[in-house]
């Protein structure tokens, strides 16, 4: 670990020197690149220097143990410094965990109704509202890309883009099966039903990261439809794109123009292809999805929302919070922060 820390500190110092040179200052592209890298290393370097300072203080204080008058004072000081050293060691281990390369990306969030019929569709709408409320708190932008509404105000499926700083880093833990237990509005006898909804969070990727050959695409256009005459388009503005090598199919019809629907469909397609490539790559290296929190496996029940008891339980970390109403209003921070800490600790074990 310390060999790695020494290398990082040297790289940080080299970047500091380069950023002060005239050639780099004049080349703004290179300057921004070096400045960004330096900023990424700063936290590790500062912690490492603090660690070295504490270690030196321990060595100096040990020498005081030879003085009988200062021995007790030195002993207390050494205990305090050792505690600080252990804390800094733990911090450094966590800081050395490789950062998820997709951490700062925007996402495409897909929510689909599962078991439970209309009640499941209504819960899709509830979850989408919960995520948009959280996005408002985080000052993220939300853009609905595709939706399939039902007559009672639910959705069979809704796909939306969430853009802003660190969206994927916060939302990646939401992938999986979300289960709801409540009395449906369609239930006259007052019985509690259990329904399920699947959530899939995909990092949004630019064209340069996923190259798609136009010859591999089959593009169909058709007339958009929906609940109500005002939503029915009279032109072939809806777009369906099939990626022939993978068989992935994406449809978009929410926009008025064919061009806009095609652009959104391509965004979703790129994200799905990227996610598949990522999954295949991870499988080749190791079965990390079984070890990590928030795997994105849609067969995995990750959370239960129990309305009668005002209870929400995350099954991955066995965390239960009795504030369902607040959570549905977008108060997700406690779950997300706990999942992030758990993921780091699991990675730390692997290291």
Structural domains of the chain sorted by starting position, each given as residue range(s) with its CATH number in brackets: 2-95 (no CATH), 107-208+290-350 (3.30.70.1660), 214-282 (3.30.160.20)
* Mean pLDDT of the chain, nearest integer: 85
Greatest mean pLDDT range, 33-37, 68-72, 137-141: 137-141
Question: Any idea which residue has 């996402």 for tokens?
Answer: 107
Residue 210 sits at the vertex; the CA angle it makes with 206 and 214, to the nearest 5 degrees, is 105
pLDDT band for 289, please (50, 70, 90 cuts). Answer: very low
DSSP category for residue 164: S
Report which of residues 165 and 162 the model is more confident about. 162
Tell me the DSSP string of 46-88.
HHHHHHHHHHHHHHHHHHHTTSTTTHHHHHHHHHHHHHHHHHH
Instruction: Give the range among 6-10, 89-93, 221-225, 326-330 with minimum mean pLDDT.
Output: 221-225
Structure tokens at 293: 């929190």
Q: Could you tell me which of 334, 323, 324, 332 has the C-alpha nearest to residue 134?
A: 332
pLDDT of 206 reads 66
Tens of pLDDT, residue by residue over 290-312, are: 433 333 343 468 999 999 999 99
Q: Are the beta carbons of 137 and 167 closer than 8 angstroms?
A: no
Greatest mean pLDDT range, 164-168, 200-204, 310-314: 310-314
Spatial distance between the Cα atoms of 71 and 66, rounded to a whole number of angstroms = 7
pLDDT band for 89, please (50, 70, 90 cuts). Answer: confident
pLDDT band for 188, please (50, 70, 90 cuts). Answer: low
| Mean pLDDT across 304-323 | 96
| Whether pLDDT at 207 is above 70 | no
| Mean pLDDT across 63-70 | 80
Structure tokens at 23: 């050639």
pLDDT of 74 reads 85
pLDDT of 282 reads 63
Q: Is 164 left (phi over 0), alpha (psi -120 to 50) or beta?
A: left
pLDDT band for 234, please (50, 70, 90 cuts). Answer: low
Residue 161 sits at the vertex; the CA angle it makes with 156 and 163, to the nearest 5 degrees, is 155
Tens of pLDDT, residue by residue over 246-274, are: 889 998 888 878 888 888 888 888 888 88
DSSP category for residue 142: E
| Mean pLDDT across 148-164 | 91
| Whether pLDDT at 177 is above 60 | yes
Spatial distance between the Cα atoms of 85 and 143, rounded to a whole number of angstroms = 47
For a pLDDT cut of 90, what percent of the chain falls above it? Answer: 42
Tens of pLDDT, residue by residue over 18-51, are: 999 999 899 988 999 999 899 889 989 999 999 9
Which is it for strands 193-203 and 107-113: parallel, antiparallel or unpaired? antiparallel
Which is it for strands 176-182 and 301-306: parallel, antiparallel or unpaired? parallel
pLDDT of 138 reads 94
Is this prediction's pTM over 0.75? no
């Amino acid at each position: 670990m310390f060999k790695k820390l020494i290398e990082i500190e040297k790289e940080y110092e080299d970047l500091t020197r380069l950023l002060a040179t005239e050639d780099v200052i004049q080349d703004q592209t290179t300057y921004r690149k070096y400045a960004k890298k330096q900023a990424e290393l700063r936290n590790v370097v500062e912690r490492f220097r603090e660690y070295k300072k504490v270690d030196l203080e321990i060595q100096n204080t040990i020498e005081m143990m030879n003085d009988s008058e200062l021995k007790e004072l030195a002993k207390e000081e050494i205990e305090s410094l050792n505690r600080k050293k252990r804390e800094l060691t733990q911090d450094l281990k966590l800081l050395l965990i490789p950062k998820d390369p997709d951490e700062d990306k925007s996402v495409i969030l897909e929510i689909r109704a599962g078991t439970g019929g209309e009640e499941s569709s209504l819960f899709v709408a509830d979850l989408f509202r919960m995520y948009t409320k959280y996005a408002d708190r985080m000052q993220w932008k939300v853009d609905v890309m595709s939706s399939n509404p039902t007559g009672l105000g639910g959705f069979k499926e809704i796909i939306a883009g969430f853009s802003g700083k660190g969206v994927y880093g916060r939302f990646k833990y939401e992938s999986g099966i979300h289960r709801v237990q409540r009395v449906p509005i369609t239930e006259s006898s007052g019985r509690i039903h259990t329904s399920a909804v699947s959530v899939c969070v995909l990092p949004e990727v630019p064209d340069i990261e996923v190259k798609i050959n136009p010859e591999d695409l089959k593009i169909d256009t058709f007339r958009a439809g929906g609940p109500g005459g005002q939503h029915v388009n009279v032109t072939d503005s809806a777009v369906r794109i099939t990626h022939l090598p993978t068989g992935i199919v994406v449809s978009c019809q929410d926009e008025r123009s064919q061009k806009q629907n095609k652009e959104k469909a391509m965004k979703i397609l790129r994200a799905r292809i990227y996610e598949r490539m990522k999954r295949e790559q991870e499988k080749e290296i190791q079965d990390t999805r079984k070890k990590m929190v928030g795997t994105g496996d849609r067969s995995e029940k990750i959370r239960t929302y129990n309305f009668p008891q005002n209870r929400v339980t995350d099954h991955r970390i066995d965390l239960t919070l009795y504030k369902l109403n607040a959570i549905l209003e977008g108060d997700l921070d406690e779950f997300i922060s706990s999942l992030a800490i758990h993921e780091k600790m699991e990675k730390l074990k692997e290291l």
